[in-house]
């Protein structure tokens, strides 16, 4: 059992990638490529969460949120005293999200994590039940403060579904606790195709370290579960 942080949500990154490490094709079309087994795996992880976080670009490319639909997991959430659906949290510093996206017609609770400027366009709208403004247009979203606020609002477990720039920021700040990664039998290629962790990257001495907890193969897909080592978890081994 992984310990849950007390000042922020326990944060899980959940992604599928190709065998060459891409989470979308070079056109960033948002095309899905995981199997039905991977979809069930993703739904289970989402069902375990109190909140689901995704970047604005990820929402724009897919247009919808990943919600719980299986009767098994809906029942499990009810028995655990949870709402039928986890809160769907969109992170967008600009707040520029098309209100006509199918996302806004889904039967889910919706929150927006943005900056003070990005939140202005939604203060009078009804698209989001809650707008969290933490950060400035110049510096972007203050994720450390945002995660503290999410924990105070009852989000104990947070599932992050992309994209690579958002996940890079969370790794940079030490806010990721575990990674669920499905390796799918495709090669997308392309130096501009997005990867699970984009951003500026890490040098070897600053790279986040992972501990493999579980590996499972189902036909041509491999399911990996990692724990992220934080400074207090262990000492460097050589």
Is 236 a domain residue?
no
State residue 29's pLDDT score: 82
Strands 110-114 and 209-218: unpaired
Look at the chain and report how many structural domains it folds into: 1
The two structure tokens encoding residue 125: 């709208």
Is 90 a domain residue?
yes
Is 104 a domain residue?
yes
Is pLDDT at 237 greater than 60 in this prediction? no
pLDDT tens for residues 87-139? 999 999 999 999 999 999 999 999 999 999 999 989 877 799 999 999 988 88
Average pLDDT over residues 157-163: 96
CATH number, domain containing residue 135: 3.40.430.10
pLDDT tens for residues 21-50? 999 999 888 788 999 999 999 999 999 999
> In this structure, are residues 94 and 56 in contact, taking their beta carbons and an 8 Å threshold?
yes
Domain that holds residue 72: 10-229
State residue 30's pLDDT score: 77
Is 203 a domain residue?
yes
Helix (H, G, I), strand (E, B) or coil at 129: coil
Is 235 a domain residue?
no
Is 234 a domain residue?
no
Rounded-to-integer distance, Cα 193 and Cα 24, Å: 6
Is 35 a domain residue?
yes
Q: Residue 163: is the preceding peptide bond cis (ω within 30°)?
A: yes
Is 1 a domain residue?
no
Confidence band of 238 (pLDDT split at 50, 70, 90): very low
Distance of CA 186 to the CA centre of its chain: 22
Average pLDDT over residues 230-236: 60
State residue 235's pLDDT score: 45
Helix (H) or strand (E) holding 131: strand 130-133
pLDDT tens for residues 166-215? 999 999 999 999 999 999 999 999 999 999 999 899 999 999 999 999 99
The two structure tokens encoding residue 150: 């999410």
State residue 236's pLDDT score: 45
Average pLDDT over residues 146-165: 96
At which residue do the structure tokens 């999410």 appear?
150
């Amino acid at each position: 059992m992984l310990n849950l942080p007390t000042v922020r949500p326990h944060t899980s990154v959940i992604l599928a990638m190709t065998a060459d490490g891409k989470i979308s094709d070079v056109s960033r079309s948002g095309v899905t490529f995981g199997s039905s087994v991977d979809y069930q795996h993703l739904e289970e992880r989402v069902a375990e969460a109190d909140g689901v976080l995704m970047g604005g670009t990820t929402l724009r490319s897919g247009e919808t949120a990943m919600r719980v639909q299986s009767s098994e997991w809906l029942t499990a959430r009810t028995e655990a005293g949870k709402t039928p659906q986890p809160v769907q949290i969109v992170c967008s510093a600009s707040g520029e999200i098309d209100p006509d996206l199918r996302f806004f017609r889904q039967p889910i609770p919706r929150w927006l994590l943005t900056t003070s400027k990005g939140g202005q366009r939604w203060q009078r709208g009804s698209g989001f039940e809650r707008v969290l403004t933490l950060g400035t247009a110049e510096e972007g979203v203050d994720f450390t403060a945002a995660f503290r606020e999410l924990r105070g609002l009852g989000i104990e477990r947070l599932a992050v579904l992309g994209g690579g720039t958002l996940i890079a920021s969370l790794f940079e700040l030490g806010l990721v606790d575990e990674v669920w990664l499905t390796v799918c039998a495709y090669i997308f290629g392309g130096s501009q195709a997005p990867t699970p962790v984009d951003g500026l990257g890490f040098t070897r001495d600053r790279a986040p370290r992972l501990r493999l907890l579980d590996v499972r193969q189902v036909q041509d897909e491999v399911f990996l579960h990692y724990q992220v080592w934080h400074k207090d978890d262990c000492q460097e081994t050589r």
